[in-house]
Structure 1
Amino acid sequence: MARVVITGAGTINALAHDVPGTLAAFRSGRCGIGALELRDVERLSIRIGGQVHDWDPEAHFNRQQIVLYDRFTQFTLLAAREAIAQSGLDFDGRLGYEAGVVLGTAGGGLTTSDENYRAVYEEGKNRVHPLVVPKLMNNAAASHVSMAFNLKGPSFTVATACASSNHAMGQAFMMIRSGLTKVMVTGGSESMLCFGGIKAWEGLRVMSRDACRPFSANRNGMVQGEGAGIFVFEEYEHARARGAEILAEVVGFAMTSDAGDIVMPSMQGAARAISGALRDGRLNGEEVGYINAHGTGTAANDKTECAAVADVFGHHADKLMISSTKSMHGHLIGGTGAVELLACIMALREGVIAPTIGYEEFDPECALDVVPNEAREAKVEVVLSNAFAFGGMNAVLALRRV
């Protein structure tokens, strides 16, 4: 089967509006979580988030486009521009008929939904804009990326809650590896930081009011974020033939279902996904040096994930570095795995491990090396990216340094 590499990356998130800025924030352990700025914030119990600030759609899109683009689509297109520019690919010719786009999102155009529910129920309007449906649909971002860059191959959207991006990137990986296509644009995006989106999450009672502290004994919940992470996945020989810069190689992927509880995670399900990614990549567990954890900052997730890592890696678990960058940019739900993949690439290319910031107290049930508070220099050859979602949806990617 074909080898698959990453030749382009783009992002916008609470830490920065591009990849260099995001990596700099990872290296310095900077926190992008802060007070929310949105309508009716005083009616919310949760008033913090990893919000994208200084965002001006008119600086990037014309008025006709803004009418069509929900905030999650805007983020996606900006990140896609950065990723495709870095890749150096041109899709105007034959490649455009083969290349496609597969993205992950959980809520899709939730901001558009929220605004139009307000218009109808709060303001009493009897009609909404005729383009509301194509603006809020989950596949809107994927469709607009395909149109913006002439991607006429396999294109669709994956929605598996917090595992959406990893599932999407896994699909892109498998399509290239099988020979279906040579290039895929992939990743994910989310923008749930609107009144209705936050109010819905409040109901779950898993949200922190002050900070995201994954693996720390005094953690008190997750913090939402927003943004996008987009990548160009490419067949290795195709990339090498054109002299492309290779950021990392994708070598393995696995997905499992807990088939248990709709919200409570399963150690067995997570462990099967991790071990499956190792098998798929023909990897020995001792080759893995770093894991970008799902690491939400909830007791249920953190303890389950650490138990799964310990179960899969045995004695080697004590030598692994495992960190959660959600402590810096928040939980991007359907877009989270995509932004977190940047930390995996940074570990492989730069030998810098992003930290778990906000770590204050040791938890014996999370007794792993969680890279607390400060980034660390370490040479690693193989890394994993974990994503474990509500509904028992698990997806793990394995990457290797090139």
Structure 2
Amino acid sequence: MPHPVHIAVTGLGLITPAGHDADAVWSAMCAGRGLAQKDPELVGLPVDIACRVEDFEPVAAHGRRLARRTDRFSHLALSAARQAVVDAKLDPDTWSPTRIGVVLGTASNSLETYLEGFALLGQERPTLVSPLSLPRSLPSAAAAEIAIDLGVRGPNFSVSSACASGATALAVARDLIAAGACDIVLAGGAESARDRMTVTCLTQVRALSRRTDAPRLASRPFDTDRDGFVLSEGAAVLVLEHPDHALRRGAHIRARLRGYGSSCDAHHPVAPHPEGAGAEQALRAALHNAGLAPRDIGHVNAHGTSSHAGDAAEAQALLRVFDGTPPPVTAPKSVLGHPLGAAGAVEAALTVLTLEQQLVPPTANLLRQDPGRELDVVTGRPRPVPVDAALSNSFGFGGQNTVLVFTTP
């Protein structure tokens, strides 16, 4: 077995449709009720439901000037990053800014501003396109804005591996710290893709649930009656810190990022490998990297999008890795919907909270699982579970897979 570097998680920030901070999000997750609803921005489309971050005012949160120059995914990322820094009790007046990095995952460009620009171009009015359209919409914009806001000057970049982007960002951040490039990395993901073009494209590839007459029941991971995912938005940022650095400053360690595994199905641009071969490879690689065996894992935070093929592939992979008896599973997208590139980071934060609380939140809307692929999915109410190590799964279009391993401090 390898000798992994157990990176400390010393802070986290969350903003999702379930709430604007970790406490609110955790409370809603434990309630176990879907949050999808009709979205006024999607009126007239075949799929007009989503999970939205409600009552979030960018101007109030960030000031008029910053709110104007950034798109919504950056607004959310900045809020999560500020929360994480406060939670970690980091003081910008005393830290070493060149030793602090930012790695953020996002699945796509922000189309919010591009759509406005495209409309003007279609009207042959190019001079009215805002000069901010490009810089505010780049995938790297959120990571750059976090660095500008906090004054940190270490490595700074974005990663994109479809719906595994947020988890991949945490894996890359772990390696930066383990390699000695940083003492601290603010890592996570942010996405707000509730625009009409993204929804239309996902509808055309039949990825979204058509259960528009019952939005709160639409996202149903691992249920036999699932018919696609519900689009969401949100951001999560974790403060990852070298354990020696955390010890020197007397930081409270919430959990440890012990290892990860990544793979590619190399199978199809949208569909997963039908037997979950790539997911299984990532799961086994994560365990090996962490120096753990399947019997050491007490919980799995599933990718569980509510798609027919994706959930079936993940279930098969878990059953093989755990010899038919995986530990208790939860699927947060049943409550939060699917925030695409932010999903892996949001669910990593939830996995940290599960380890802290020794409590697995329930999966909403699950009535009956696929015969022969049954997992021990927690439903109805939170389940107390003694857990020292947990997996957080993230799988994306193109067969891009990342699995994170978290342990108690």
* 8 Å CA contact 1:253, 1:396 repeated in 2: yes
Distance in 2 (CA, whole Å) between partners of 1:105 and 1:46 is: 23
1:126-137 matches, within 5 Å, as: 126-137=127-138
1:63-82 matches, within 5 Å, as: 63-82=64-83
**How far off its partner does 1:22 sit?**
0.2
2:241 maps to which residue?
234
Distance 1:21 1:200, change over 3 A: same
Distance 1:8 1:366, change over 3 A: same
**How far off its partner does 1:126 sit?**
4.5
Distance in 2 (CA, whole Å) between partners of 1:157 and 1:29 is: 32
> Does 2:87 match 1:110?
no
Distance in 1 (CA, whole Å) between partners of 2:123 and 2:7 is: 50
* 8 Å CA contact 2:390, 2:407 repeated in 1: yes
Q: Secondary structure at the match of 1:363?
A: coil
> Does 2:283 match 1:280?
no
2:279 maps to which residue?
270
**How far off its partner does 1:124 sit?**
5.3
**How far off its partner does 1:178 sit?**
2.2
Distance in 1 (CA, whole Å) between partners of 2:87 and 2:281 is: 35
2:265 maps to which residue?
258
**How far off its partner does 1:245 sit?**
1.4
- Unpaired stretches in structure 1, ≥5 consecutive residues: none
The amino acid of 2:279's aligned partner reads A
> Does 2:31 match 1:24?
no
Distance in 1 (CA, whole Å) between partners of 2:205 and 2:329 is: 27
* 8 Å CA contact 1:185, 1:232 repeated in 2: yes
1:4 maps to which residue?
7
Distance 1:148 1:372, change over 3 A: same
1:149-164 matches, within 5 Å, as: 149-164=150-165
1:313-328 matches, within 5 Å, as: 313-317=322-326, 320-328=327-335
Cα deviation per residue 1:340-392 (whole Å; 9 max; x = unaligned)?
Answer: 11221122100110111011223214311111232211111100011111111
Distance in 2 (CA, whole Å) between partners of 1:95 and 1:313 is: 43
- Unpaired stretches in structure 2, ≥5 consecutive residues: 212-217
* 8 Å CA contact 2:258, 2:405 repeated in 1: yes
**How far off its partner does 1:89 sit?**
1.3
Distance in 1 (CA, whole Å) between partners of 2:54 and 2:120 is: 25
The amino acid of 1:279's aligned partner reads H
* 8 Å CA contact 1:270, 1:394 repeated in 2: yes
Cα deviation per residue 1:303-339 (whole Å; 9 max; x = unaligned)?
Answer: 100100111111442xx11111001111011000111
Distance in 2 (CA, whole Å) between partners of 1:366 and 1:213 is: 15
Of 361, 383, 394 in structure 1, the residue corresponding to residue 390 of structure 2 is 383
Cα deviation per residue 1:90-145 (whole Å; 9 max; x = unaligned)?
Answer: 34456211111000001232211223223333695643011111000000000000
Distance in 1 (CA, whole Å) between partners of 2:325 and 2:292 is: 14
* 8 Å CA contact 1:303, 1:365 repeated in 2: no
1:157-236 matches, within 5 Å, as: 157-210=158-211, 211-236=218-243
Q: Secondary structure at the match of 1:145?
A: helix
1:292 maps to which residue?
301
Distance 1:32 1:147, change over 3 A: same
Cα deviation per residue 1:57-76 (whole Å; 9 max; x = unaligned)?
Answer: 11112222122110000000
The amino acid of 1:219's aligned partner reads R
Q: Secondary structure at the match of 1:395?
A: strand
> Does 2:377 match 1:370?
yes
Distance in 1 (CA, whole Å) between partners of 2:123 and 2:54 is: 27
* 8 Å CA contact 1:108, 1:191 repeated in 2: no
Of 232, 241, 245 in structure 1, the residue corresponding to residue 252 of structure 2 is 245
**How far off its partner does 1:242 sit?**
1.6
Q: Which moved more, 1:221-230 or 1:2-11?
A: 2-11
Distance in 1 (CA, whole Å) between partners of 2:120 and 2:67 is: 18
TM-score (norm 1): 0.96
1:33 maps to which residue?
36
The percent identity for this pair of structures is 34
The amino acid of 1:152's aligned partner reads R
Distance in 2 (CA, whole Å) between partners of 1:67 and 1:357 is: 37
Cα deviation per residue 1:19-57 (whole Å; 9 max; x = unaligned)?
Answer: 11001111111322111121xx33211111111111211
Distance in 2 (CA, whole Å) between partners of 1:343 and 1:64 is: 32
Q: Which moved more, 1:6-15 or 1:88-97?
A: 88-97
2:101 maps to which residue?
100
* 8 Å CA contact 1:293, 1:324 repeated in 2: yes
- Aligned-residue Cα RMSD (Å) equals 1.5
Distance in 2 (CA, whole Å) between partners of 1:130 and 1:305 is: 44
Distance 1:14 1:157, change over 3 A: same
* 8 Å CA contact 2:5, 2:258 repeated in 1: no
Q: Secondary structure at the match of 2:188?
A: strand
Q: Which moved more, 1:21-30 or 1:137-146?
A: 21-30
* 8 Å CA contact 1:29, 1:355 repeated in 2: yes
Cα deviation per residue 1:173-231 (whole Å; 9 max; x = unaligned)?
Answer: 11112222110000000000011221111111121133100001111111110010111
Of 17, 31, 43 in structure 2, the residue corresponding to residue 14 of structure 1 is 17
Distance in 2 (CA, whole Å) between partners of 1:275 and 1:122 is: 53
2:140 maps to which residue?
139
2:214 maps to which residue?
none
The amino acid of 2:316's aligned partner reads A
* 8 Å CA contact 2:394, 2:402 repeated in 1: yes
Q: Secondary structure at the match of 1:366?
A: coil
